Amino acid sequence: MEKNHVEELRAELNQLLKKQTEVLESRTFGGATDAELLEYEIRQEIIHQICNQLADSSAG
């Protein structure tokens, strides 16, 4: 995998993790909506996929 592509994946992963943290903080204080929680679950899947891609790129 190209180094540039890896950097793009890492940047996307950082953004997604930041959003996840925001939702968790909001949820802690009772402010997360059902839509935000659904988006959280969807992002979890995307994060998992990106982590797999990054792991594959370092293994190959």
Which SS3 state, helix, strand or coil, does residue 56 take?
helix
CB atoms within 10 A of CB 13: 16
Q: Tens digit of pLDDT for each residue in 2-55?
A: 889 999 999 999 999 999 999 999 999 888 999 999 999 999 999 999 999 999
CA atoms within 13 A on the CB side of 7: 3
- pLDDT the model gives residue 23: 96
